[in-house]
Structure 1
Amino acid sequence: MFALPAFAQAADQPAQDWAIHGQATLVVQGVGGFASPYGGANSLAPRQVKETVDATAFIGARPWKGAELWANPEMDQGFGLSNTLGVAGFPSAEAYKVGRASPYFRLQRLFVRQTIGLGGARENVAPGANQLGGMRDVDRIVITAGKFGVGDVFDTNAYAHDPRGDFLNWAAVDAGTFDYAADAWGYSTGIAAELYRGAWALRIGGFNLSKVPNGETLERDFSQYQIDAEIEHRHAIAGHPGAVRVTLFRNRGRFSRFDDALALAQATGNPLDPALTRRPMTRIGVHFNLEQELTSDLGLFARAGIADGAIEPYDFTDIDRSAQIGAVLRGSRWRRKDDRIGLALIANGISAAHRRYLDAGGIGVLIGDGRLPHAGAEQIAELFYAARITPALEATIDAQHIANPGYNRDRGPANVLALRLHAAF
């Protein structure tokens, strides 16, 4: 993820011309036994332990005034639980949809960012991963183009957006209904423009979807694409900063309606296959995002969203409506000011058409137990404690309780424990 810059009113600092940062993250995650009377191709299996490792270099340079060029080569290895299947709100956002036993390398980001100042007040920008230090106008236009994550620009949140540093669950780091354009590793190619004026920000972007749902290969010509739009208002309550965001996405590509796939399977007697009924159509969704500092050590966050539940999700996960609320507390009170404890409560749901599809044996992006006779909302509670070991190393214990995994009341609840080690410079 992009580093969230820290701003301060201070003397002008010189602009960085180049920077190199790095990070490495290990997550070991396991799930105990739970009720599992039947399972399908995309079910979560009980009693297993998996690990993932990634290491990323953030290499940046300033080719001309106001511009930044960044490349993020990365090494990945490992598997999510059940090959990252079985729960719509999957318990590790560090687990990609592609798992491999041996390390492999990818260029996850390669983008240019141009900042155009609009005059007026200036602010310092702290250096960090994918952010050169220096000064910029508070009122500005920012254009980002190339390969990067939609979540680098949209749906950010100071308390719940980085699986390497805060919550691990997919439906906590982003709105579960945000079917953002991405390959199987979470990145896309496109362009985003942001306008900052006073307390307001307006963002719009266009991105390539995968060639097929949940695919490894992106379109290159925007023949299947996503348009994102977001409005943000930043404020302070009793001197404590906060922000409210509303994000809209519009996907245009070859999708299937759940009921069309069901009707064809019933008419022909063939297995249920949404690929046979995909045709050009549009799927939209909208969500709300709140962050609010309550004290210097305690922050609150919340998200809620809805997406078109008649049409199959494409690139993220199987969630048609979602709500989350949580808080993060720093450890100043117990003399561990760099430690953090966080709690998130999440509820995910699907449409009636989506339930019929899964009950008939349909397979989704992440879920599919072969049948769904007793559907219920996925209910997830996540608790983590992140301890700062050294300035460059952090260790986190994470626990998640997942009721009705895959929206299936016949399965679970699943209790998931994880150890995360994260180093960065």
Structure 2
Amino acid sequence: MQPQIVSAQSSINDESSVDDEISIESDTEQWSFHGQATYIAQQKNNFRSSYYGQNSLLNKSEGDGLKSYSLSATAFVGTRLWEGAEVYWNGEMFEGTPFSGQLTGLGGFYNGELQKGAFAPPIYYTARAFIRQTIGLGGGKESVESDANQLAGNIDKNRLVFTYGKFSTLDIFDDNIYSHDPRTQFQNFAIFSMGAYGYAADTKGYTYGAVVEWYHNDYILKFARLALPTVPNTAELDYSLTENYGDQIELTRSHLLWGQPGAIRGLFYQQKAFMAGYQNAIILGQQTNSTPDITNVRQSATKSWGVGLNVEQAINDDIGVFGRFSWNPGTTETQTLDISQSISGGVSIKGSYWSRPNDTLGIGFAVNGISSSQIEYLQQGGLTAFIGDGALSYGSEQIFETYYNAKIYKDLYVTLDYQRISNPAYNSARGPVNIFGIRAHFEL
């Protein structure tokens, strides 16, 4: 779920000389090779727990005193095909174990690298394989630096970009310069992304589909149809893009506020897939005198939708703030996180103030909630893919996270991270959970 398709771009003056244009053209890359490796280890406290169920996050007294960890390594390879066309392939290795051996017990999970499951021993797979075609529409030039899944060169500021293949939804949507990459920034799902955004993803966090982007002056309009799993939260995607899919549209407006750059993004998405409704599960449970179970009432062509707002704003060269709001009706089971409404935000501070300009201090929060129908379902003992304590004393899930990311040597960074999660999985009878973590990240 890392932002690896499009990286930040630096502008060049529209009045650049002919020599400058020639220089830019001569720096155009034909091939690109990059790589990354990230290790995250986390440990939690022996938090208060009045009771627990099948999908609870367990404390030490309940049998889980082990750490959670993840290790990933990715190779990014790209080349140009013809004018404006680029193709990319990412091979990835991943190994990880969540707390309690499964990624359960929370709305906003603590490690974005863990995606949706446990993989040990390590697995190897193609994370991304996509083609991108750019059509220039004028408006001056922008210089693009060499980066993961990005070839150095120059492109028109106004342009159309078509992407087709396998990638992560969050590579393209819900971007934010201060909070978007769990490998280098905030690690909690509800802080580095819109918590209530039901984005398309398989169990490793990737999808398949087509995206159209239109860049025009200070605006970016994006639209995509992306594959959902044939069964929610499983590995098999529906490659037909006609039965289990998600459509999303996002509009970005860049601006200057008091001379400092910022951006506002508005997102709308809808899903059509083989899913269950909570009320249907409750009704069937009442009719059969049994615990409601969403797996018994899944139906084809079930629909859901949601909206989101994403804001970033630089205060000065070293401080930036961000905020997100997202909402969905919460009447159907989730394709991503058990969150129906979420508000999050925070601040990112570079270490220039203490003579460490390559370091970053981040402070963030998220407040998550679920719908009334899901609350009733959980109170009756129902389970979702990720949560279910057997009962529920409802309270909003409240997350605080702070991290310090330090550059140790060249492209090696080490991060200390702390998260405090109150009312885990919306249950005031459990928690708060304190999670202490360390992250090592290397890239080239």
TM-score range, shorter chain: over 0.9
Which position in structure 1 is the counterpart of 2:311? 290
Which position in structure 1 is the counterpart of 2:209? 190
Which residue of 5, 11, 21 maps to 2:8? 5
Pairwise CA distance, 1:166: 0.1
Which position in structure 1 is the counterpart of 2:235? 216
Pairwise CA distance, 1:217: 1.1
Q: Is the 8 A contact 1:4 1:158 kept in 2?
A: no
- What per-residue deviation string (whole Å, max 9, x for no partner) do you get for residues 209-255 of structure 1? 01111111111112111001001100111221110000111000122
Which residue of 350, 360, 372 maps to 1:352? 372
Which position in structure 1 is the counterpart of 2:30? 17
Q: Is the 8 A contact 1:225 1:252 kept in 2?
A: yes
Q: Tell me, yes or no, if structure 1 residue 35 matches structure 2 residue 48.
A: yes
Which residue of 286, 297, 301 maps to 1:277? 297
| TM-score between the two structures when normalised by the length of structure 2 | 0.93
Which position in structure 2 is the counterpart of 1:87? 106
Aligned residues: 423
Which position in structure 1 is the counterpart of 2:258? 238
Q: Tell me, yes or no, if structure 1 residue 181 matches structure 2 residue 184.
A: no
- What per-residue deviation string (whole Å, max 9, x for no partner) do you get for residues 296-322 of structure 1? 0000000001101222212x1100000
Counterpart secondary structure, 1:48: coil
- What per-residue deviation string (whole Å, max 9, x for no partner) do you get for residues 28-48 of structure 1? 011011111211121111243
Q: Tell me, yes or no, if structure 1 residue 64 matches structure 2 residue 82.
A: yes
Q: Is the 8 A contact 1:30 1:48 kept in 2?
A: yes
Which residue of 324, 328, 336 maps to 1:303? 324
Which position in structure 1 is the counterpart of 2:180? 161
Sequence identity (%): 38
Q: Is the 8 A contact 1:257 1:310 kept in 2?
A: yes
Give the counterpart letter for 2:308 in structure 1: H
Give the counterpart letter for 2:264 in structure 1: V
Bigger mean CA offset, 399-408 vs 65-74: 65-74
Q: Which runs of 5+ in 2 are unaligned?
A: 14-19, 60-64
Which residue of 112, 121, 125 maps to 1:106? 125
Pairwise CA distance, 1:152: 0.8
Q: Is the 8 A contact 2:294 2:384 kept in 1?
A: no
Give the counterpart letter for 2:377 in structure 1: Y
Q: Which runs of 5+ in 1 are unaligned?
A: none
- Cα distance in 1, alignment partners of residues 257 and 150 from structure 2: 28
Q: Tell me, yes or no, if structure 1 residue 147 matches structure 2 residue 166.
A: yes
- What per-residue deviation string (whole Å, max 9, x for no partner) do you get for residues 12-70 of structure 1? 42311111100000000110111112111211112431211000000101111111111
Q: Is the 8 A contact 2:37 2:72 kept in 1?
A: yes
Counterpart secondary structure, 2:405: strand
Give the counterpart letter for 1:29 in structure 2: Q
- What per-residue deviation string (whole Å, max 9, x for no partner) do you get for residues 79-115 of structure 1? 1222221111001101122312211101010001111
Q: Tell me, yes or no, if structure 1 residue 362 matches structure 2 residue 385.
A: no
Give the counterpart letter for 1:184 in structure 2: T
Runs of 4+ in 1 over 6 A off after TM superposition: none
Which position in structure 2 is the counterpart of 1:264? 284
Give the counterpart letter for 2:83 in structure 1: K
Pairwise CA distance, 1:265: 1.0
Which position in structure 2 is the counterpart of 1:228? 248
